[in-house]
Amino acid sequence: MTSSSAVEQSSQSNVHGGKVHEVPELAMEFDSEQHAFDYYSEYAHRIGFSMGKQHVKKSCGVVMRKTLCCSKQGEKGIDKRRENVYYHRPVSRVGCKAHMTFLLQKNTKFKVITFNSEHNHAFAPLPAKHMLRSKRRLSFAQTSLATDAIKLRQQILAAAGQFVGHERK
C-alpha cells in the first residue's frame, strides 16, 4: 500500500482527453470502479442491451480488474442437463462477446483495457430506456424517420395511382 491519497474528482468520470465519450474506448480512465460501472450501464441502456455477469478480480478486498459483460454472454445449449427437456425457453444467451474490462491503475483510476462492442444478436427494447435523456433523442429520430417513410410511401402510392388513372382514361 502506498501513502498516496486518492482525490475524488467525480466530474471527470466520463471525460477523457477533454471530451465526453459516447462509446467506451480503450485507455479511457474512470475515477472509480463505480464510475466505470455506471458509464457502461448507461451505455448499455442507450445502445439497447442489458448487462449480465461481472467478472471481478480482487486483491486484499480491492477490485483490481473487472469485466462487464452483455447479458447474452455464454453459450446456450452447452448445458447437457437441459438437452432432453421438452419445453423450450426462448433463447436468451447466444454467446455474445461484447464486454468492457477495466483495470486498476497506480494512480487509483480504472483504465479500460479491453472493449468489444460487437453483439451477435438483435437488441430488445428495454422498458427503462425512456428514463434516459439520450433515449428521447433516439425515439424522436426513429419516429420522424418512420413518419418520413410513411409519407414517402403515401406519395409514391398517390403518384402511382394518378399514373394508373391517366393510363386508363
Give the residue with the Cβ less far from Zn ion, 43 or 49: 49
* Angle, vertex CA 63, rays to CA 49 and CA 101, nearest 5: 40
When the beta carbons of 18 and 90 are compared against Zn ion, the nearer one is 90
* Residues of span 87-106 touching Zn ion by CB under 5 A: 96, 98
The strands making up 62-70's β-sheet, listed across from edge to edge, are 29-30, 110-116, 99-104, 62-70, 51-59
Cell representation of residue 73: 454472454
Alpha carbons 101 and 122: distance in angstroms, whole number? 22
CA dihedral 119, 120, 121, 122 (to 10 degrees): 60
**119 touching Zn ion, by CB under 5 A:** yes
- Told to check if 112 binds Zn ion by CB under 5 A, we report no
Segment near Zn ion (CB under 5 A); pick from 10-18, 19-27, 40-48, 71-79: 71-79
Q: Measured from the CB of residue 53, what is the shortest distance to Zn ion in angstroms?
A: 12
Residues contacting 12, CB < 8 A, separation 6+: 31
Applying CB under 5 A, among 36, 70, 100, 104 the residue interacting with Zn ion is 70
Kindly tell me which residue out of 46, 66, 72, 99 binds Zn ion, with binding defined by CB under 5 A.
72
Applying CB under 5 A, does 66 fall inside the site for Zn ion? no
Which among 165, 67, 154 is positioned nearest to 115, based on CA atoms? 67
Q: Is 45 in the site for Zn ion (CB under 5 A)?
A: no
Q: List contacts with Zn ion (CB under 5 A).
A: 49, 70, 72, 96, 98, 119
